[in-house]
Chain A
Amino acid sequence: MTGLLHERELSRKTFLKGGALVLGFTLGGGLAGRAAAAYQPPLGDYGPDVAELDTWFAVGQDGSVTLYTGVVELGTGSVTGLMQIAAEELDVPFGAMKVVTPDTLRTPDQFVSSGSRAISQHGPPIRQAAAEARQFLVNLAAGKLGVPASQLTVSDGVVSGGGKSISYGELIGGRLFNARITGTAKPKTPDKYRIVGTSVPRVDFPSIAAGTHQYIQNFRLPGMVYGRIIRPPSQGASLVKVNGFKQHVTGVVKVVRKHDWLGVVAESDWEAIVAARALDATWSDWSGLPPEGNLHAVMRTLPLYDAAANPLDLRVGAQYKNPNPNVWQNTGNADAAIAAAPKKLSVTYTTPFLAHGSIGPSAAVAVWQGDRCTVWTSTQTPYGTREAIAKFWGVPNNNVRLISAQGSGTYGQNGSDDAALDATIMARELDRPVRVQWMRWDEHTWENYKSARVYDLSGALDANGKIVAWKSESWGFTNYGRPEYHEPAHGGEPGSLFVAQLAGWTGASVEEGGGPQSAPPFPIPNVWAKHNFLGAPSQRKGALRIKSGSMRNPTGFYDTYANESFIDELAALAGIDALQFRLNHLTSPRAITALQTVAQAAKWDFRPGPNPNRGKGPILRGRGVTVQGNIAEVFEVEVSTKTGKVFVPRVTVAADHGLVVNPNALTSQIEGAVTFGLSNGLYEQVRFDRQKVTSRDWVTYPIMRYKDSPPVIDTVLINRPDQPSTGGGEPPHQPVLAGLANAIFDATGVRMRDLPFTPKKVLAALRSAGY
């Protein structure tokens, strides 16, 4: 139960002599093999044929079933959930399941393991494939047993009927299905579920608890050497000259330079670190960043992204083809309605760049054999990144084999993809595998930050306290900072990787980031909403040299912060309880149920905000509510009038995620999302000076610590087996920032509109309000 690969079975000789490398990651079930050990599924440009049953499943002679999935285990438990879905449809015990996670040579292309898609979008094809496999096996058994398929039942991997039985292992163990997915098999109805809907323990936890789990950061190959990268000292600096080492160094295998990309490879990790530190290089001066305090003012003045000037860049949905000018909603006449309304409000919300902040800095391992390369990486986008690497090196897709290895949590587009390219650049110069490990400051200063945003919101109420008009204008950079491709077109583009840019690549990039993700959660008669898309900056090019990419979700949680804060402000303006105000407007039955459920669970006291009994301190108490999609959250806060510190003693969540596959794993995701969001809201901001990002570590980029974390997070799952599953990683994070701001308002009467809500900012606001 190690999740280990065959490293001990592999000599360096097998590496360098060529042939297909058979190293893959399995989770929890030991080594998993194809039914026929030597079987290599035929490959298209994007992996094995997804219409073949053998692409998805292999049955062992012992009755074990291996699921081959294109979904990456990111630490969310999704792969355990997918194994539950497969076991359920196949009618095998969960313990019979094994899994092979993405390997472009062996697993189906399941697009990206991002966007909360792992269960919601990638579960259904696995469910269908498993139902097909079951149907195939029952038909096979019917022939062998001489009993009509209609009289056969399956239990624990054994087909029985007419007094006879035969196991899956006996039917097909060690052999191929050689069958197409027909689309005719009918998956079970949810009332028959026995495995889906239960809290099966995660398959990767035994090895995590024992300390034997294989992360990319400790993945090792025979003969492997160790790489460190040396990034430019400013966002825009170019490498003028490499001068050699400032001091005596040992173990250096090679200094590798490619345009502005610089790295060093050594025989040991420590020698690589020492050498990278000692390597003296001359870089050009650059200081093109705006003063930090002017960021949001500067964003309003930056040129809008010009799609026509970058025809290859945008490959995503229609709304992004022409992202500017992007008036994404225009209903009724918002200006006239605001002018005529008795009560109105105009405010601005601003948000900072945020770092993903993976605890383990990105790492990757690569080895070349001639013009073929194998890369081990914790990317969320195996096929997109594989294609980008292939394009970068000018080789066919299938010359690059990408194998997914579990890494530290990514929370979106962290440095994993760039580190993968780093590894291929170093390994290209050597006949040995290289593990590249970013240092803490490499991750913090050169990742795809969540884009800062500016929101101008105006709204108006009628005499009954209903919102009659809503105006929204926002500014932001791209949401995508990596070469994933977008369905249906493939097209991983190296230009999305700053490592490729450093290494001289000047081609296109895949970008997205036009419109906001979340509109007001209910219909309003007069709405005008515009987004100003500022394009795709990176450390190497663009209007602002701070690279952005999706974190936790593309724009949704910042959009929801602005929208749900503003709704709360309108509720206060109307003098109506904040939760009741939302009930007065919502039309979605599921959202209403979530809100009513959270009101009950949190023992919500219906009264207008702010808290009339808040007193004068030293601790002010209040509560705030938000609802986004079908998730409602209530935050209780304590605000110190002495320090400005905000503490959240209790959070209550009511969450409707449709069909719940694994309640405990989902609850864990919700707890994590809430804690992560509170960390974003209270502490986090990527700092920079005129040259570079200055948030280099956990002192200069603090995140939530244990003592400051909420001691109680109560979650109520509203299970709806008749509805498709929705994602667990993104949606519960989305409401948090507004819930926090709304609770601070309730506690203090002060509205915080500029994230993060640091003690300094809160204290200043309290002082201005007379505390």
Chain B
Amino acid sequence: MASKLKIKVNGLVHSVTASLDTPLLYVLHNELHLHGPRFGCGLAQCGACSVLLDGKEIRSCVTPVAAVSGKAITTLEGLPALWAKERGTSGASPVLHPIQQAWIDQQVAQCGYCQNGMMIQATDLLTATKDPTEDQIRTALNGHLCRCGTYVRITKAIRQAAAVMAKGGK
């Protein structure tokens, strides 16, 4: 049975109509047309669908939309605003989050399909651990699968992002 719900995504409250058991992913994807989180397995095994829920990485493919009411969801598209807020600048800053910029600078992706989850998990990691060791990076992202084989570049990108963020984006 479809219900009317309010969910907060990337700083904005949206009214959506969906059955309460609908996985968050499909609401983000088809109702809000957000393309960052992507369908990979529907089983919380791969991480392509990751979003931040109150700052912590979750799998939107197995999270019922009803479970996120009253909480703040951030998708990949919302990372620039998150970074702007951290720096105390305007929320509509066009600057990419240092993690996204590092992904471009290091030319991390191949097909790019899984990289949403990698960047979301990296954001979660760098929130708690400002200067992670290689081992911490490899452990933190171990729940995300990349089939193209980009792991070595992800490590480099996260180190770059950590260094940039430590200097406040300078």
Q: Is A141 an interface residue (CB 8 A)?
A: no
Bound complex: CA A699 to CA B45 (Å) = 8
Q: Is A665 an interface residue (CB 8 A)?
A: yes
Could you say which of A206, A269, A273, A698 contacts B41, with CB atoms under 8 Å apart? Answer: A698
Collect the chain B residues with CB atoms within 8 Å of residue A215's CB: 35, 38, 113
Q: Is B144 an interface residue (CB 8 A)?
A: yes
Q: Is B93 an interface residue (CB 8 A)?
A: no
CB distance from A413 to the nearest CB of B (A): 15
Q: Is A711 an interface residue (CB 8 A)?
A: yes
Having A250-B19, A269-B26, one finds 4 other A-B pairs with CB under 8 Å, namely A205-B109, A211-B79, A360-B38, A706-B151
CB distance from B45 to the nearest CB of A (A): 4
Q: Is A361 an interface residue (CB 8 A)?
A: yes
Q: Is A341 an interface residue (CB 8 A)?
A: no
Q: Is A201 an interface residue (CB 8 A)?
A: yes
Collect the chain A residues with CB atoms within 8 Å of residue B76's CB: 210-211
Are A270 and B26 touching (Cβ within 8 A)?
yes
Bound complex: CA A212 to CA B75 (Å) = 11
14 inter-chain pairs at a CB distance below 8 angstroms, sorted by A residue, are A211-B75, A211-B76, A250-B1, A268-B18, A268-B30, A269-B29, A408-B113, A409-B111, A437-B39, A671-B149, A697-B43, A698-B145, A705-B142, A706-B142
Q: Pick out which of these stretches binds chain B: A96-104, A564-572, A588-596, A673-681.
A: A673-681
Are B152 and A671 touching (Cβ within 8 A)?
yes
Q: Is A217 an interface residue (CB 8 A)?
A: yes
Q: Is B103 an interface residue (CB 8 A)?
A: yes
Are A201 and B43 touching (Cβ within 8 A)?
no
Number of chain A residues whose Cβ lies closer than 8 Å to a Cβ of chain B: 64
Bound complex: CA A206 to CA B146 (Å) = 19
- Residues of B at under 8 Å CB distance from A? 1-2, 18-19, 21-23, 26, 29-30, 33-36, 38-43, 45-46, 48, 75-77, 79-80, 96, 100-101, 103-104, 107, 109-116, 119, 134, 138-139, 141-142, 144-155
In terms of DSSP, what is the predominant structure of the interface of chain A?
Answer: loop
Are B142 and A668 touching (Cβ within 8 A)?
no
Q: Which of A170-222 contact B (CB under 8 A)?
A: 199, 201-202, 204-206, 208-215, 217-218, 220
Collect the chain A residues with CB atoms within 8 Å of residue B141's CB: 706
Q: Is A135 an interface residue (CB 8 A)?
A: no
Are A250 and B2 touching (Cβ within 8 A)?
yes
Are A409 and B148 touching (Cβ within 8 A)?
yes
For A439, give the chain B residue with the smallest CB separation. Answer: B42
Could you say which of A77, A208, A439, A703 contacts B145, with CB atoms under 8 Å apart? Answer: A703
Are A360 and B107 touching (Cβ within 8 A)?
no
Bound complex: CA A359 to CA B43 (Å) = 12
- Residues of A at under 8 Å CB distance from B? 74-77, 199, 201-202, 204-206, 208-215, 217-218, 220, 226, 250, 268-270, 273, 357-361, 406-409, 411, 437, 439-440, 664-665, 668-669, 671-676, 679, 697-699, 703-707, 709-713
For B45, give the chain A residue with the smallest CB separation. Answer: A698
Sorted nearest first, the 6 A-B pairs with minimum C-beta distance are A75-B111, A675-B149, A211-B36, A211-B76, A409-B111, A672-B149
Knowing A699-B45, A709-B152 are in contact, say whether A214-B35 is a contact too (CB < 8 A).
yes
CB distance from B15 to the nearest CB of A (A): 16
CB distance from A547 to the nearest CB of B (A): 20
Are B104 and A709 touching (Cβ within 8 A)?
no
Collect the chain B residues with CB atoms within 8 Å of residue A209's CB: 96, 100-101, 103-104, 109, 115, 119
Bound complex: CA A409 to CA B39 (Å) = 14
Bound complex: CA A269 to CA B104 (Å) = 31
Are A210 and B101 touching (Cβ within 8 A)?
no
Are A411 and B149 touching (Cβ within 8 A)?
no
CB distance from B64 to the nearest CB of A (A): 10
Bound complex: CA A440 to CA B26 (Å) = 15
Are B107 and A211 touching (Cβ within 8 A)?
no
Are B35 and A359 touching (Cβ within 8 A)?
no
Could you say which of B34, B41, B42, B147 contacts A411, with CB atoms under 8 Å apart? Answer: B147
Are A212 and B35 touching (Cβ within 8 A)?
yes
Bound complex: CA A177 to CA B139 (Å) = 56
Bound complex: CA A311 to CA B48 (Å) = 44
Bound complex: CA A250 to CA B100 (Å) = 39
Collect the chain B residues with CB atoms within 8 Å of residue A673's CB: 149
Collect the chain B residues with CB atoms within 8 Å of residue A357's CB: 147
Are A201 and B41 touching (Cβ within 8 A)?
no
Are B100 and A359 touching (Cβ within 8 A)?
no
CB distance from B52 to the nearest CB of A (A): 12
Are B45 and A671 touching (Cβ within 8 A)?
no
Collect the chain B residues with CB atoms within 8 Å of residue A226's CB: 30
Are B107 and A220 touching (Cβ within 8 A)?
no
Are B151 and A360 touching (Cβ within 8 A)?
no
Could you say which of A214, A358, A697, A710 contacts B45, with CB atoms under 8 Å apart? Answer: A697
CB distance from A281 to the nearest CB of B (A): 21
Are A707 and B142 touching (Cβ within 8 A)?
yes
Bound complex: CA A674 to CA B110 (Å) = 14
CB distance from A283 to the nearest CB of B (A): 23
Are B26 and A218 touching (Cβ within 8 A)?
no
